[in-house]
Structure formats: C-alpha cells, structure tokens
Amino acid sequence: MKRVAILGGGPAGAFTAERLARQGLNVVLMDEKLAWEKPCGGGLTYKAYSQYPFLIENPTPKRLVTETVLAAPDAGEVTLRLTDPLLIYSRLDLNRMLLNRAANAGAQIERTRVTGMERRGSGWQLRTPTGTVDADFCVVATGARNALRDVGTQLQPTDAMSALGYYIPGDQARIDIQFLPGLEGYIWVFPRCGHLSAGICGKREPATLLRRRLERYLDEHGIAWKGSTFYSHLLPSLDVKSWKRNRVAGDGWMAVGDAAGLVDPVTGEGLYYAIRSADLAAQTLLADSSPAEHAASYRKLLRRDFAADLEFGSRLAKRVFLGSFLLGSVPARMVQFTRRSPRFACIMQDLFAGRQPYLGLKRRLMQNLNGSLYDIAMSFGFSRIVPRAGNVST
Ligand SMILES: Cc1cc2nc3c(=O)[nH]c(=O)nc-3n(C[C@H](O)[C@H](O)[C@H](O)COP(=O)(O)OP(=O)(O)OC[C@H]3O[C@@H](n4cnc5c(N)ncnc54)[C@H](O)[C@@H]3O)c2cc1C
C-alpha cells in the first residue's frame, strides 16, 4: 500500500488517518471544512472512552456529566445518577483534537472538497476543485451527507432520522432526555462547556414538526432558545432490511462512520462507531492480507464487532419508542421502572454506559422482570402481601 486517501476529516476520517499514519503509511486526509461545529450532541459513552482512553485523557475542554433526567408522557421524570458519566464535547473541539492527532502522527491534512473519484488501474484519481489527487486506496469518511455516488451507504428515506436543535448559551448540571407521544425519537438537552446543545431526533416525521416539538419543549421548560444558533443534519438509522445490503466496502475502498451508516438506530449514538469502524478499517489495511481481501475482511470484522448488534437494535427501535407494555407506553414504563426498581435502574445504567448490547437485552429484561416487578410492588409498600419473587411456594 503506497498512498491512502481519507475522504472526510470528522472523527471517523481523522482516527483512520491517525492509525494508518502512525504505522508509517503515506496518508492524505481531505476535508472541505476541517475542524467545525458539526451538528451533534457531542456525547461520548463510557464504552467509547474506556476503550479509547485518549478521548478522556487530554486537555481539550469537555464536560463529564453524571446526572440524567428521563421523562415521558404520563410517567413524570426520574433521575438516574450515572455510575459511568457521559463525556460531552463541542464538536469543534473534538474534531480539532482528532485532526491534530492525525497530523502529529504524520498524516497530510488538506482543506478541500472531493468532488469525484475514478478508478485508474488498481488505484484512484480523486477530483477536487483545484486539481486531482492520486491514491492507491480510499477510505470514505464523508458522513451522513455523502455526495459521492458509488461508495458508502445508500441511505433510503427510512434509513435516517432528521436531527436538529439549538446551541443555547447557558448551563445546567444534568442531561435531560424527554420522550414524546407518537415520536420515534426523543429530545435531549446536553450541557457543554459554555452552552447547551438542545436537540430532537425523529424518524418518519418532517423536520418542521420536529422543530415545533422542540421549541414547545424549550418554552415549557423555561430554556430561552430564541436568537440561538440553529442546527440540523441527517442521522443514519438503518432499517432492518438495509443492514443486509449496506454498502460498507468495495474494490479499493472502505467506508467508515456515518458514511457507512454505522449509528445506533435507537439512541443515535454515532461517535463511538465512527471511532471503532475507523480502528477496524485501519486494522484491515494494516493486516498482512491481499488488497482483494480487504472488503470481505472489513465486513467480517464490523459484523463481529458491533454491526450485528446494531442490526438487532434496528428491530427494537420502533418498539422502544412506540410500543406498549403492561397497558402503558414503553417509554412511560421505562421511566416508572427506573424510578421504582433498582434492578431495572442497573440495566438502564448499563445501556447508558454502552455496556449492555441489544443482543441479550431481552433475555436480561425477562430474567429481571420478576425481580423488577417485586421491587415496584415493594416501592408501593406492598411488602407484607407480595411474596419475594422466586421464593413463592406452591
Ligand atoms: C443532531 C445530531 C446529534 C448527535 N448527537 C450525538 C451524540 O451526542 N453522541 C454520538 O455519539 N453521536 C451523535 N450524533 C451522531 C454523530 O454526530 C455522528 O455519528 C458522527 O459525527 C459521525 O462521524 P463521521 O466522521 O463519520 O462523520 P462526520 O462527523 O459527519 O464527518 C464527515 C466529514 O466529512 C467532510 N466531508 C463531507 N463530504 C466531503 C467531501 N466530498 N469532500 C471533503 N470532505 C467532505 C465533512 O466536512 C465532515 O467534516 C449526532 C448526530 C446528529 C445529526
């Protein structure tokens, strides 16, 4: 491998560039904006910073938040004190830090837009507004709005959520998560250094309606959003069937992060998967295998590592937001169970930390159901009339 071109310098592209350059490969990274405030909450889970400690061990400004308030219609709210805090960055700061790391590792960083790519023998010729760049291999890291036609995920309307919000001057100690009636999505308010990132994501609902829902929520909660900077973007959220045909790699290229649709279809978490897929793409390129095997090896690594779990998550997404359980909505039950059952609250802790995969979640919930219901009964003061689950004698 002589020269690798990385198209896009968000977290996925920057981390691929760092990994490859550190191992001595000739790497050129091209991004039309370089470090910028990409529309995002900026939240990184424990799963991300425990696996990649440099994400937390650095002098870049960031917030560590332990208090999360979950709220749902007809259920009020519950406070969950996270045993493993959420780490929150401004994306300008996070992207800058990752690009600096890539440059320090030896990657050549160029501010330019890639407007096209053509196969030339076993390599590529990339077009930019000012000329051409030759490369032997391409890593496509152009995000959810990838305009390069023949590489990366082809997002259908049902494979994405609209996500929009405001950067609002202000501060609060906690994270707010609000579920809304009939919405396959949620509102979040994340405290960052110096401002709040308040946003909403939702599937199958026009952006104008989502924006109205968010503004109503902010008004009702006394958060002064008028005059704040508005943002909107696309959030990949692949449908069940789309995982099978997902175009993540081909002859001479691999896609990473949002350009490969690698986002949690329930929570919208994409930063971890951007970093992780970058790592797996770099491992594939650095492995002692022939270029012809790269695409298949990368697909296999992704599937084994997390893509099978995300695919399973896409089966659950609709039920999590719109389903019902014990005659109430799933979000309302989630809030009520978290409030009343320490066992259920533990599962929520693990979900927030990224420690509980979707594969295995149903089994864990069922195994804990008796205990959770027992906790709930006890919390209502039924201790004398409800026998301990599992100790019932017949
Ligand atoms: C509103 C919103 C909130 C979110 N909140 C969270 C959150 O709190 N936590 C979380 O984990 N995830 C969150 N996500 C998801 C997260 O933002 C993405 O998963 C993450 O940014 C993906 O990183 P990436 O590097 O793949 O793509 P991006 O960050 O989108 O980077 C792509 C880069 O490619 C560049 N580019 C694009 N096309 C070209 C081209 N043709 N030539 C050159 N450069 C190009 C762009 O300038 C950009 O810098 C959120 C997403 C949205 C929309």
Query: Residue 126: which of 160, 153, 151, 159 has the closest Cα?
Result: 151
Atom of ligand 1 nearest to the CA of 235: 53
Please give the structure tokens belonging to residue 98: 């990752």
Q: Which residues share a beta bridge with 5? A: 28, 138
The whole-number average pLDDT for the span 183-187 is 96
In this structure, the residue with its CA closest to atom 21 of ligand 1 is: 271
Find out whether the beta carbon of 33 lies less than 6 Å from any atom of ligand 1: yes
pLDDT in tens, 236-279: 999 999 999 999 999 999 999 999 999 999 999 999 999 999 99
Q: What is the pLDDT of residue 38?
A: 96
How far does the centroid of ligand 1 lie from the alpha carbon of residue 257, in Å? 8
Please give the structure tokens belonging to residue 150: 């023949």
How far does the centroid of ligand 1 lie from the alpha carbon of residue 146, in Å? 10
Q: What is the pLDDT of residue 385?
A: 44
Atom of ligand 1 nearest to the CA of 112: 43
CA distance 331 to 185: 11
Is the pLDDT at 388 greater than 50, yes or no? no
How far does the centroid of ligand 1 lie from the alpha carbon of residue 143, in Å? 5
pLDDT in tens, 174-184: 999 999 999 99
Question: What pTM value is reported for the model?
Answer: 0.93
Residue 202's SS3 state is strand
Q: Are strands 116-120 and 123-128 parallel, antiparallel or unpaired?
A: antiparallel
Q: For helices 330-340 and 342-353, give the axis angle rounded to 10 degrees.
A: 120
In this structure, the residue with its CA closest to atom 31 of ligand 1 is: 10
CA distance 249 to 324: 38
Residue 239's SS3 state is coil
Q: Count of CB atoms within 10 A of residue 265's CB? A: 30
Q: Count of CB atoms within 10 A of residue 46's CB? A: 21
Atom of ligand 1 nearest to the CA of 34: 49
Find out whether the beta carbon of 31 lies less than 6 Å from any atom of ligand 1: yes
pLDDT in tens, 113-168: 999 999 999 999 999 999 999 999 999 999 999 999 899 999 999 999 999 999 99
